[in-house]
């Protein structure tokens, strides 16, 4: 069972035939998205995961390359837009058994390229914006944003795939926490425990 961020997706645009495709082993970090839209370019390549610090913090491990294709174009109303398709595999923690589990992340999103929040607010409600206040936009941040949006809030194995919990570890952790609470609530208890440990030695 996975729980995702709520987000309205927009897929009703029809991209014109792309005239120029550019392939990279690693996608450039900064691009001029408006110029790319005017030229009708598609950029294809992998993401340098060393630049994806937020995604790294959100998962246990990024376990594969992140491949992406970004198609820049002018949509029917003349707005500059980009279609972002990206995918990659990560490892996350199962919230049921607390062991690692694989997860495939995929996004397919269309965004209008705008200069400001005001311009974004003026878009029709079913359209979302990529706000690029300067000539250059951070392509890697954009891809990372989209993958973070499809990352589930909570992740579970299928029940039959869950590993059994190590109850000894859980009981030990629970006992330690209980001892800490007792010591905080009764400082004299700390002296008894310390005396007991010294006697054992």
Give Cα separations from 34 to 73, 160, 164 (angstroms): 9, 49, 53
Domain ranges of the chain: 20-160, 166-200
- pLDDT tens-digit series, residues 5-51: 444 444 444 444 445 777 778 999 999 999 999 999 999 999 999 99
- pLDDT tens-digit series, residues 156-184: 888 777 877 655 545 555 555 544 445 45
Phi then psi for 51, rounded to 5 degrees?
-90, -5
* 100 contacts: CB under 8 Å, gap ≥ 6: 60, 61, 91, 92, 93, 94
The burial class, CB within 10 Å (0-12 / 13-18 / 19+), for 156 is middle
- pLDDT tens-digit series, residues 80-135: 999 999 999 999 999 988 999 999 999 999 999 999 999 999 999 989 999 999 99
Place of tokens 């990529």: 130
Contact 143, 108 (CB under 8 A): no
- What does pTM read for this prediction? 0.73
């Amino acid at each position: 069972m996975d729980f995702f961020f709520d987000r309205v997706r927009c897929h009703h645009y029809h991209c014109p035939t792309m005239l120029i495709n550019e392939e990279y082993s690693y996608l450039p970090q900064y691009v001029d998205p408006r110029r790319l839209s005017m030229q009708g370019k598609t950029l294809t390549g992998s993401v340098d995961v060393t630049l994806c610090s937020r995604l790294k913090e959100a998962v246990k491990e990024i376990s594969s390359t992140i491949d992406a294709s970004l198609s820049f174009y002018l949509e029917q109303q003349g707005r500059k837009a980009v279609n972002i398709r990206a995918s990659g595999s990560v490892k996350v923690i199962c919230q049921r058994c607390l062991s690692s589990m694989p997860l495939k992340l995929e996004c397919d999103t269309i965004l209008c390229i705008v200069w400001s929040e005001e311009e974004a607010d003026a878009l029709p409600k079913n359209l979302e914006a990529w706000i690029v206040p300067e000539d250059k936009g951070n392509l890697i941040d954009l891809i990372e944003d989209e993958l973070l949006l499809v990352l589930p809030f909570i992740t579970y194995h299928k029940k039959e795939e869950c590993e059994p919990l190590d109850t000894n570890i859980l009981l030990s952790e629970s006992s330690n926490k209980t001892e800490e609470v007792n010591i905080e609530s009764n400082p004299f208890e700390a002296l008894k425990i310390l005396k007991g440990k010294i006697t054992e030695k």
